[in-house]
Amino acid sequence: MFADLHLHSLFSDGTFTPEEIVGHGARLGHQALALTDHDTVEGCERMATACAAVSIEFIVGAELTAEHGGNELHILAYFVDPQNPKLLTEIAKFQKVRQERIRDMVACINALGVPLKVADVFALANCRSPGRPHVARALVRGGHCRTLDEAFERFLKKNRPAWVPKAKMSALDAIELIHQAGGLAVMAHPGLNRSDQTIPVIVDAGLDGIECFHTKHPPATAEHYLAIARKHNLLVTGGSDCHGLSKGKPLIGTVRLDYPHVEKLYAAKRAADEKRAAPAAE
């Protein structure tokens, strides 16, 4: 039995509907799935319904863009209450930052003589949490770039002419926000962020887990983070980070988290709930 706990839908920069993701998950035999859209939980209700219909366990999630010491890092929020007022207020701020950033990126692209229309990017994104992939897709659709890779290489990658830095919440605030919403905080794809030096600090701030298994973690990287998880007594998660079709195929199914890790997550969620319900019992 296995799970995929890192998936994006068209509520952020993925291209699948929640129902399409669950269709793939069922076809491939997943026991559990989590939806982890960037800075939003909007897709979770539909995903929960779709999972229930095919008897797949569903875990509410989101991927929060955060920073510590100037380094960007992504924090996965599992089991948060999707109605939690503080969570919704905070992520709405970062959705607004994302929308403003789209305008800024398009202005940079226009300044280079490429007549991309900001309205076309928003129409294509059609969500509250747009990102660079939407700008890239609009550049391809408008005939300004041949491929998404070309759009990132020419304009959107860090330090390219249309790259715009993004205001992010502090990782410590993100962990606190997740906990007050009833969730567990997990560091996403640490192998992509070169942020090992921040791990002890955010563990002290209450980090619950670390994503050891990820599409872009080769086996040695997974082993490296498994050792870190053991050292700090962290939960272990994993997922494909599927954003839709990638070279014609969905990534879902390529990273299979062994189900016992999911059971440990459930146990940690229950323990956190019990601790919150009876804080004086310590």
Q: Encoding tokens for residue 101?
A: 């950033």
Could you say whether residue 132 binds ligand AMP (CB under 6 A)?
A: yes
Q: Where are the alpha helices (DSSP H) in the chain?
A: 18-28, 44-53, 85-111, 118-125, 132-141, 148-151, 171-180, 190-193, 199-204, 219-232, 259-277
Name the minimum Å distance from CB 130 to ligand AMP. 8
Burial call 26-64: b when 16+ CB within 10 Å, e when fewer? beeebbbbbbbbbbbbbbbebbbebbeeeebbbbbbbbb
**CB of 123 closer than 8 Å to CB of 116:** no
Could you say whether residue 211 binds Fe ion (CB under 5 A)?
A: no
Name the minimum Å distance from CB 38 to ligand AMP. 6
Nearer to Zn ion, 63 or 90 (CB): 63
Q: Encoding tokens for residue 211?
A: 């994503």
Could you say whether residue 183 binds ligand AMP (CB under 6 A)?
A: no
* 55 residue type, one letter: S
Could you say whether residue 148 binds ligand AMP (CB under 6 A)?
A: yes
The count of chain residues that interact with Fe ion, using the rule CB under 5 A, is 3
Footprint on this chain of Zn ion (rule: CB under 5 A): 63, 241
Residue 176, Cβ density class (10 Å: 0-12 exposed, 13-18 middle, ≥19 buried):
middle
Could you say whether residue 250 binds ligand AMP (CB under 6 A)?
A: no
Task: Pick what 157 binds: Fe ion, Zn ion, ligand AMP, none; C-beta below 5 to 8 Å, kind-dependent.
Answer: ligand AMP
Cα within 13 Å of Cα(187), Cβ side: 32
Name the minimum Å distance from CB 51 to ligand AMP. 23
Determine the Cα–Cα distance for residues 238 and 241; give it in Å rounded to an integer.
9
Task: Pick what 128 binds: ligand AMP, Fe ion, Zn ion, none; C-beta below 5 to 8 Å, kind-dependent.
Answer: none
Could you say whether residue 46 binds ligand AMP (CB under 6 A)?
A: no
The piece of 46-54, 128-136, 181-189, 191-199 that touches ligand AMP (CB under 6 A) is 128-136
When binding is defined by CB under 6 A, the residue of 71, 92, 142, 157 that contacts ligand AMP is: 157
Sign for the pseudo-dihedral over CA of 105, 111, 115, 117: positive
For the beta sheet containing 61-68, the strands, ordered from the edge strand earlier in sequence to the opposite edge, are 169-170, 61-68, 71-78, 184-187, 209-214, 235-239
When binding is defined by CB under 5 A, the residue of 24, 30, 68, 74 that contacts Fe ion is: 74
Task: Pick what 144 binds: Fe ion, Zn ion, ligand AMP, none; C-beta below 5 to 8 Å, kind-dependent.
Answer: none
Residue with token string 């887990």: 209
Could you say whether residue 133 binds ligand AMP (CB under 6 A)?
A: yes
Task: Pick what 46 binds: Fe ion, ligand AMP, Zn ion, none; C-beta below 5 to 8 Å, kind-dependent.
Answer: none
Name the minimum Å distance from CB 157 to ligand AMP. 5
Could you say whether residue 13 binds Fe ion (CB under 5 A)?
A: yes
Could you say whether residue 101 binds Fe ion (CB under 5 A)?
A: no
Site residues (CB under 6 A) for ligand AMP? 13, 38, 131-133, 148-149, 152, 157, 166, 243
